[in-house]
Chains A and B, each alone.
Chain A
């Protein structure tokens, strides 16, 4: 094994159990890491990853009550908070390995089963870092989104290190998808599948068919993936996308409901289900999904105001059909308050919040309350705290308030 010097490297250790955290930190110190930072849960790890770059991330799969290690990995990979050149090692228990390995789309660079000795961790880490060094040019090109170059570099790596072939084919396939070279991607994944039914190749093939617009071919592959890998919930998301394209929206919604039941903590999936349900005028389901999304958004990088607004809008949909329950009214108020608290400094968002509040009052025939909210709204506009009323508001909602006779 090559000598690797950790003394100029920076490590992030994510572990919720104090005992293990102390021990692992000591191990990393013994390996010579210059800097070791600690996080006790996924949310604080995200904060650290947002502002720093780490050469090595050692993360436990079980991270207490918040997000688990796999969700953390997906989020930071998805949002490029961690470069491909870094090494990500996941600590798993036997029962969670399937969850980690089953997540075909975002996998750690390696795993180590608990409990492990210092010697074993060192060995795993050295091997991973060594393999990362061999793939450095490939990963560096990926980080810079230079996909053609990444393919060229991957070809070179395989010539020199044949045992990295599987890894390199996978990267090449993903680059073809990024470059929209779908026929090349289909060729590559089919060749890989001829030898053995590798889940990543089947997943790649399905995506290539999807992007090519061949939704029926894609659908059957995604269904196959769901059958083969029970833990790969992302296949459900993709199947739902196919079904939407094939204009089977109800079926797509049912697929997402299944997926949400399997893994309720995935915020993007909740948003997807919320939007699709609103499209289908199923506002009860939409409300439930966005309520969960709002809850999950709190510590997520996906904390965008649109999630909150969509949650509020779902109540208007419900109110059109029947009277809101007290609980629903409370939930509406909670999310409204969250918007004001989180985004209240932004005049446009403040206006949006006023308009949706007024719209709900109008829908509920609570004209007096609508009017008093409008009064506050206008005051805030005058003081520059809120942006002027939108065109939609002026044309559609303001006339319903019956205030035209009042002079201000």
Chain B
């Protein structure tokens, strides 16, 4: 029998599933716009919608991960207004945060311009925020600034921090955290410029006392 590349097959299956989820989201949106039942049921619909969106975003992450890991992703960088980018991310992710009674916000200098792949970083930020949603007590903060010719994105929360969930091997098998971090790292590394490569660090958050994931993108 001809040998098949299972990762390619899995990637295309994920793609199919992602499209199916997209279709469900459309149907749900139509239902929601015509729905006029009690508020508790609207909330339930919102929860389903939010869950589907997260599923969709995760599958997008896996698709990028597949491309990055199989060396098949062409980076598309552009010069972007970073505050606007973060504003977009907060906008699309705030429903998920609100559903968990968490506050998601960002801090960034309005005039900051930087080069990066918007699509890929959108997936990186959502991956980081979905992860933070599981640990944060009340807040998640996105920050961005340029330090030493690196654009640094930071995702901070007020949860227990990385030190308590330190066993990476276990994490990798145990939850999506490890895979998410691997994806984030590959995405940072894919951004290379003039011989400099991107990277990530995991530290404690100085302002919120929880975890702080930093993504360094060379400029």
Query: Which residues of A line the B interface, CB within 8 A?
Result: 19-20, 22-23, 26, 93-95, 97-98, 101-102, 113-115, 117-120, 123, 127, 162-163, 165-166, 196-198, 228-231
Contacts and interface: CB of A to CB of B under 8 A. Distances in A.
**Those 3 A-B pairs whose CB atoms lie nearest each other, nearest first:** A166-B79, A115-B22, A101-B76
A93 B18 CA distance: 10
Contacts of A123: 88, 91
B30 A162 contact: no
A102 B74 contact: yes
Given A102-B74, A229-B74, A115 B60 contact: no
B26 A19 contact: yes
Nearest to A231: B74
Interface size class of B (residues with CB under 8 A): 20 to 34
Interface stretch (B36-44, B98-106, B111-119, B205-213): B111-119
Nearest to B52: A115
A94 B18 CA distance: 10
A23 B28 CA distance: 11
Interface in B10-24: 15, 18-19, 21-23
Interface string B76-116: 11111100100010011000000000000000000101010
B30 A23 contact: yes
25 contacts: A19-B23, A19-B30, A23-B26, A93-B15, A93-B22, A94-B18, A94-B60, A94-B119, A95-B15, A97-B119, A98-B74, A101-B76, A101-B119, A102-B74, A113-B60, A115-B23, A115-B56, A117-B29, A163-B80, A163-B81, A165-B79, A196-B77, A196-B219, A228-B74, A230-B74
B63 A162 contact: no
B74 A198 contact: no
Contact of A94 (B21, B63, B79, B80): B63
B165 interface: no
B193 interface: yes
Contacts, number: 70
B33 interface: yes
B179 interface: no
Interface in B47-88: 56, 60, 63-64, 73-74, 76-81, 84, 88
B113 A196 contact: no
B180 to A, nearest CB: 17
By DSSP majority rule, is chain A's interface helix, strand, loop, or mixed?
Answer: helix
A20 B26 contact: yes
Contact of A114 (B22, B77, B113): B22
Nearest to B24: A115
A98 B76 contact: yes
Nearest to B115: A196
Interface of B: 15, 18-19, 21-23, 25-27, 29-30, 33, 56, 60, 63-64, 73-74, 76-81, 84, 88, 91-92, 111, 113, 115, 119, 193, 219
A166 B22 contact: no
B27 A19 contact: yes
Given A23-B30, A120-B91, A163-B81, A196 B18 contact: no
A119 B49 CA distance: 14
A93 B29 CA distance: 18
Contacts of B84: 127
A198 B78 CA distance: 8
Nearest to B119: A97
A163 B115 CA distance: 11
A183 B111 CA distance: 32
Contacts of B15: 93-95
A166 B74 contact: no
Contacts of A26: 33
Nearest to B95: A117
A155 B149 CA distance: 26
A308 B43 CA distance: 61
Contacts of B77: 196, 198
Contacts of B30: 19, 22-23
Contacts of B29: 23, 117-118
Given A23-B30, A228-B74, 10 more contacts: A19-B26, A20-B26, A23-B26, A26-B33, A95-B63, A120-B91, A163-B81, A166-B79, A196-B193, A229-B74
Nearest to B61: A94
B52 to A, nearest CB: 9
A97 B60 CA distance: 12
A115 B81 contact: no
A228 B192 CA distance: 13
Given A26-B33, A165-B79, A196-B193, A115 B25 contact: yes
